[in-house]
Amino acid sequence: MTHAEQLLAAKRDFLVPCVYHFYQRPPVFVRGEGAYLFDSEGRRYLDCYCGVTVVNAGHSNPEILEAAIAQLRRLQHTTTIYLTEPMLELARALAELAPPPLRRSFFCASGSEANEGALLLASLATGRRECVYLDQGLHGRTKWAMSVTGLEMWRTDPEPLRTAHAVPGPRHPGSLAALERLLRRETIAAVIAEPIQGNGGIVVPPEFYWPELRRLCSQYGTLLIADEVQTAWNRTGRWFAVEHWQVVPDIITVAKALGNGFPIAAFITSDAIAAHYTRPGAATFGGNLVSCRAALATLHFHQRHDLGRRSETLGAHLAGRLRHLQQRHPAIAEVRGRGLMLGAELRNPDGSPANQLTDAVLETLKDAGYLIGKTGPGRNVLTFLPPLIVEAEQLDGLVDALDCVLQGY
């Protein structure tokens, strides 16, 4: 038995079967450095998935590790019932980065938790109980968060909350009209949406969409929650993706890349909205000292290395090269995204989602030393989420490898 086969056997034995993995022949990753992952046999892979857009500042980033290790040596954990510095320093940093008037944070450990908290807050602040979400959005695994997830694959709950209502996704021409019909009831506490849908297949809304979403929510007294769990922290070339449309939501949720691999998440809101959440609220791992130090070091690293600009420039480069590839490979139906959050949708000659081809491309690219992801309701969107420290030449290598792989099809 190979090492990978042994681990697969242990996985079958000890994990809940819902925990799935990519690849027929999965490597065993043992080390990460910068843009690369290394497997147990010493092979190197350019990681263009980043553990789903988490290690935006690169694997084992020394500056972030040093800050976390120093904190780990001093004091690893207390909880929010005691006073400590790192959580408040991070809260101040988030208040400076978030669009005004958003300046108050509640820290927790995962994106699901941040969204669950944001929906609770919206309900407290408005006195309403219902909410609206978009088809093909993904917001998490907890009760509320899964009930507002519009991707069939991730809606495992046999009885999602009936107070959650779906409207068609942002590229559907009837999306906003359907939303307004629901908002007119004046029972909707919040609309929750990703600025660019990640798991939905890197779905970029039309330019008018978020400004309209903002206008409609304000008109009907509904709060707008931007789920920036994937899109924040320069993934799209901005701290927050809503900045592309100069829209200020009522609540922003963040997680993933904030700690560059250390678990930390938050919802961020205004004084006025936060004022409705006064009963005790505590997350044991919320504001964890080590995670907060790592997050502060991550934000400094982003600032010092101008990762927003890198994401924008390198994203334009990669998108251009993928579009060039599209002209030569008819299987690529569309290339879309912003910054270094890019997707290439693969379709069969009859127009159906090419999910088998997508799997074959992922497997062959992995064997060639490149890791990318796949998303979309048809599981047919190749997803490119490289670390923002990646070099243009490394991305060129990826595109050349993809070109070779697609030549066989």
Binding site for ligand PLP (CB under 6 A): 52, 110-112, 115, 138-140, 194, 198-199, 227, 229-230, 255
Q: How far is the CB of 235 from ligand PLP (least distance, A)?
A: 11
Alpha helix positions (H), 220-354: 271-274, 289-304, 307-328
Q: CA 293 to CA 227: how far, in whole Å?
A: 23
CA–CA gap between residue 6 and residue 10 (Å, rounded): 6
Q: What is the C-alpha to C-alpha distance for residues 341 and 69, in angstroms, rounded to an integer?
A: 30
End-to-end Cα spacing for the chain: 32
Q: Smallest distance, Å, CB 116 to ligand PLP?
A: 9
CB of 119 to ligand PLP, least distance (A): 12
Distance in Å, CB of 117 to ligand PLP, minimum: 12
Measure CA 104 to chain center. Answer: 21
CA distance 264 to 30: 23
State which residue, 34 or 111, has the beta carbon closest to ligand PLP. Answer: 111
Kind and range of the H or E run holding 219:
helix 209-219
Which lies closer to ligand PLP via its Cβ, residue 116 or residue 250? 116
Which residues is 45 bridged to in the sheet?
Answer: 37
Shortest distance, CB of residue 192 to ligand PLP, whole angstroms? Answer: 9
CA-based torsion, 259, 264, 265, 270: positive or negative: negative
- Beta carbon nearer to ligand PLP, 34 or 150: 150
Tell me the closest approach of the beta carbon of residue 393 to ligand PLP, in angstroms.
Answer: 29
| d(C-alpha 241, C-alpha 339), whole Å | 10
For residue 14, the minimal CB distance to ligand PLP (Å) is 21
Q: Which two tokens stand for residue 326?
A: 């599209």
Structure tokens given for 216 = 């409609």
CB of 3 to ligand PLP, least distance (A): 27
- CB nearer to ligand PLP: pick between 325 and 341: 341
Q: Is 76 exposed, middle or buried (0-12, 13-18, 19+ CB in 10 A)?
A: exposed
> CB of residue 299 vs ligand PLP: minimum separation in angstroms?
18
Q: Which lies closer to ligand PLP via its Cβ, residue 111 or residue 286?
A: 111
Contact 148, 190 (CB under 8 A): no
Nearer to ligand PLP, 233 or 405 (CB): 233
Q: Nearest residue by C-beta to ligand PLP?
A: 111
Nearer to ligand PLP (CB atom), residue 53 or residue 394: 53
Question: 137, 316, 151, 164: which is closest to 227 by C-alpha?
Answer: 137
Q: How many helices (H) and strands (E) does the chain have?
A: 13, 15
Cβ atoms of residues 291 and 261 within 8 Å: no
* Closer of 212 and 227 to ligand PLP (Cβ): 227
Beta bridge partners of 164: 131
Cα(9)–Cα(269) distance, rounded to whole angstroms? 45
Q: Toward ligand PLP, which CB reaches closer, 227 or 312?
A: 227
